[in-house]
Amino acid sequence: MTMDKTTRCGVVAVIGAPNAGKSTLVNQLVGQKVAITSPKAQTTRARMLGIALEGPVQMILVDTPGIFAPKRKLDRAMVSAAWEGAEAADAVLLLVDPVKQRRHELEPLLEALSNRPERKILVLNKVDVAKKEPLLALAQELSGKVEFSDVFFISALTGDGVAEMKTALAGLMPEGPWHYPEDQVSDASERLLAAEVTREQLYRQLHEELPYDSAVRPESYQHRPDGSVEIHQQIVVGRETQRPIVLGKGGSRIKAIGEAARKELSEMLGVKVHLFLHVKVSENWAEDREIFEEIGLDWVR
């Protein structure tokens, strides 16, 4: 890849109270749907990779899970992913919804942020619906609590102000080679996206019977000559008794999950998708380092 300018590559951690609009913002920055947007808090389990390009700059967006009190291993890994993401970051972006401020969730974030060394950026979302005076007052108040190097007013939904913010972020990234080759940027995101979409369906259709004890592992992602995409995934459950729950009577449930995920994926990717799912029982998958890493989480002891 020939470039006149020096390449830069860095990590931007996106944090905020649940439902502040993080996934929508990541999608705007990347220019395609990568992070799953779902009204259920804690749906972003993996350290979703959104890869945004701006000229010679590659920004790896870490869409951190909303930070909440950890109860067990998986939850701890999710919380740790939220902060880990911020630890390795070249910039931490705090996204705030000025309409539903969710103070009880925002305050701990501000407190934790105030002691962190990274470059911090405040982004106030929803300028399309928020009133201007309170917006400015809020920006001033939050800046009094944390030293932000920049403040941006945007609408993640309409894209208003996002381009300027993206340019500013790109300027903060350190010089260095790109982590992902240009032609792989979409694939890296799409492999994870495909697993997230299936997981979201699994969760939607079985959230009563199967709480967080399931994972979706991407096995392969291939472009067929006719332009369609062939995706193979493994649904991992913790107990043999859960296999029939996922399969459903005569395989009806897994078929419905696959069908819904396939439909959503082909709409997002704009091509025909062939999706193959199979269920694997792994007794201690939540203790299995390899599975954790594949679904984008760091292993936490």
**Res 272 pLDDT > 90:** yes
Q: What is the mean pLDDT of residues 107-122?
A: 83
pLDDT band (50, 70, 90) for residue 46: very low
| Per-residue pLDDT, 66 | 44
- The model's pLDDT over 168-179, given as tens digits with 9 standing for 90+, comes to 999 999 888 887
| Residue whose token pair is 């701890």 | 76
CA distances from 269 to 91, 190, 222 (A): 29, 8, 13
For residue 133, which phi and psi values (nearest 5 degrees)?
-60, -55
User: What is this structure's pTM?
Assistant: 0.58
- Tokens of residue 58, six digits: 């590659």
State how far the Cα of 297 lies from the Cα of 301, in Å rounded to an integer: 12
**Res 41 pLDDT > 70:** no
**Res 130 pLDDT > 70:** yes
| Per-residue pLDDT, 295 | 55
Angle, helices 162-172/22-30, rounded to nearest 10 degrees: 80
**Res 293 pLDDT > 50:** yes
150-153 and 120-124 beta bridge pairing: parallel
| Per-residue pLDDT, 185 | 57
| Per-residue pLDDT, 214 | 72
- Tokens of residue 237, six digits: 């459950």
CA distances from 120 to 23, 89, 169 (A): 19, 10, 11
When mean pLDDT is compared over 116-120, 238-242, 250-254, the highest value belongs to 250-254
| Per-residue pLDDT, 47 | 52
Q: Indicate the range of 33-37, 119-123, 133-137, 227-231 predicted with least confidence.
A: 33-37
Q: What is the mean pLDDT of residues 263-281?
A: 89
State how far the Cα of 81 lies from the Cα of 47, in Å rounded to an integer: 6
